[in-house]
Amino acid sequence: MTALQLDPVLVTRARELAARAARPVVDLARTHTTVSVERAVLRLAGLTGTDPVTGDGAATDRVPWVNRVVDAVRDQVGLEAGVALPVWHALASGAAPSLQALAERVGAGTARFTVPTGADAERARAAARAAVAAGLARIDANRARREELVATHGDPPRRPWIYLIVATGDIHEDIPQARAAARAGADVIAVIRSTGQSLLDYVPEGATRTGYAGTYATQENFRLMRAALDEVSAELGRYVRLTNYASGLCMPEIAVLAGLERLDMMLNDAMYGILFRDINPRRTFVDQRFSRMVHARAGIIINTGEDNYLTTADAVDEAHTVTVSQLLNETLAKEAGLPDWQLGLGHAFEIDPDRKESFRLELAHAMLARSLFPDAPLKWMPPTKHMTGDVFRGYLLDGFFNLAGALTGQGILLVGMMTEAVVTPWLSDRDLALRNVRYVLDAAGGLTEDFAPPPGGFIDRRADTVLREAVGLLEKIADHPEGLIQAIADGTFGITRRPADGGKGLDGVVALAPDAYNPALELLEQETARA
């Protein structure tokens, strides 16, 4: 594909403004921690399991040990110094023979924590660093294993990769459906989470069968699905990737679990949780930086959620807000150590199909994203907002979406279904949707080599307009002392206002003391500095 000849001065200006607008968020994340970041440290150090079962024994009735320990440390000494120093000081002092045993003493109410100083603090730091390094070594081994399997089985023979959602609520039902989807042509299987999991301030444990409109994201569910897709990858002779969601109140922990179980992509965007789940902005931006550093280490491609803005805002009038968010997400991701190949920046095919020139506008927006981020595996989302019960119209819209993806060289193509956002699609809808994608990509995939909109033409002019509008908005955001945080409060994205001190999870944010210590951040930042 011939990229659009965007004004290089304008592009440089856009990135400079995005960096300025994002700086307050980076400063916030560097000077604060959250309960979920601290729980992620314990998960990297190997703490798993839950306290004794309560209720009927379902996964959502059990409180993980990581929650119990972090809550106990917070109650006794606060989290301003982090969880690592008091926990490993307790272990070094003989309070328990292992991290697991210490957690059980927390559950029994007999564990006592203090923040060490001097030689005791140095001893606790060294022990915590060694424990967390073991978890990161497992993540490193999984990244190497992925590279081995890709070398053995091969990648899909063409781009974009076909991305399909499978989620019944029952992991044991998801697995045969995921295998069938891979055999039918899917390159990426996404297991969407159970409704409301993003608002749980803990990660359920074990294999689950009771999700609603999705399946709970748990470490065991990750392990089971990855193993199943490894089997089908060997059968098909191409590596099938697995996606889940590192968002919501447990973003850092789920990122760690994804690394520990070799997931390949993760939905990871603080903006989605802020705008559409009313999670506190400060909480989720702190969580996002840590989770993205884990993803960078694990070789996981992140997917961002700009497509969601266009479900609440007009896709033409607010197109520039998608570009602004992509530029901000790029800035925040690279600060956390993610290179271009791991940036699955989002955008969507959501212009009203009754609007004149709608397809040309869609092409302009898609080509703008592709030209701004030439080395990123962009994630292109199908039409949902303007889907109706007319399955023939829906099938045609999905065909146009697939064609736009082929023409503009998108990296990841989420399969659209005829009744998307109207009813829960049937399995037959999924089969027809995969046939639609395969037909278009086989018939028109090579057209990307020939598709070159002329300079000064409709597509070129529209892309330039959106980019200039994006720069104008970035100037306003960058000039405000709180930058992006204030822009969100003003309703800039998705016409949804979220104040900095509102939403869920603010009580889990803690300002760090000068002597704070997080061994995971120390090791991850060392890796980022070397990159």
CB 418 within 8 A of CB 433: yes
> Mean pLDDT throughout 77-102?
97
- The confidence score (pLDDT) of residue 99 equals 98
**Among the listed residues 244, 247, 296, the one whose alpha carbon sits nearest the alpha carbon of residue 270:** 247
- The confidence score (pLDDT) of residue 3 equals 83
| pLDDT, tens digit, 9 for 90 and up, residues 355-394 | 999 999 999 999 999 999 999 999 999 999 999 889 899 9
- The confidence score (pLDDT) of residue 522 equals 97
Write the single-letter amino acid at 411: G
Q: Please give the mean pLDDT across all residues of the chain.
A: 94
DSSP letter, residue 213: S
Pairing of strands 509-511, 32-34: antiparallel
Take residue 272 and report the two structure tokens written for it. 């989605």
- The confidence score (pLDDT) of residue 2 equals 67
Strands (E), 468-531: 509-511
CB 372 within 8 A of CB 326: yes
Write the single-letter amino acid at 357: E
CB 310 within 8 A of CB 276: no
385 annotated active-site: no
How big is the chain, counted in residues?
A: 531
Of these ranges, 137-151, 156-170, 426-440, the one predicted with the greatest mean pLDDT is 137-151
More confident residue, 174 or 421: 174
CA–CA dist 60, 109 (Å, integer) = 22
Q: For residue 427, what pLDDT band results from cuts at 50, 70 and 90?
A: confident
Domain ranges of the chain: 153-445
CB 445 within 8 A of CB 158: yes
| pLDDT, tens digit, 9 for 90 and up, residues 189-203 | 999 999 999 999 999
356 annotated active-site: no
264, 287, 379, 504: the active-site residue: 379
Q: Where are the alpha helices (DSSP H) in 109-215?
A: 118-153, 171-183
pLDDT above 90 for 308: no
- Classify 350 as helix, strand or coil: coil
Tokens 């190497």 identify what position?
144
CB 261 within 8 A of CB 219: yes
Rounded-to-10 torsion of CA 272, 277, 281, 282: -120
Integer-rounded Cα Rg, in Å, for the chain is: 23
Report which secondary-structure segment, H or E, holds 163: strand 161-165
CB 344 within 8 A of CB 370: no
Q: pTM, whole model, 2 decimals?
A: 0.95
- Classify 162 as helix, strand or coil: strand
Q: For residue 426, what pLDDT band results from cuts at 50, 70 and 90?
A: confident
Write the single-letter amino acid at 42: L
307, 398, 429, 464: the active-site residue: 307
Burial label, 527 (beta-carbon count in 10 A; 0-12, 13-18, 19+): middle
Q: Where are the alpha helices (DSSP H) in 384-518?
A: 391-407, 427-444, 458-479, 484-489
Pairing of strands 346-348, 379-381: parallel
307 annotated active-site: yes
163, 202, 239, 272: the active-site residue: 272
Q: Which residues contact 51 (CB under 8 A, 6 or more apart)?
A: 62, 63, 64, 65, 68, 107
CATH fold group of domain 153-445: TIM Barrel (3.20.20)
Q: For residue 93, what pLDDT band results from cuts at 50, 70 and 90?
A: very high
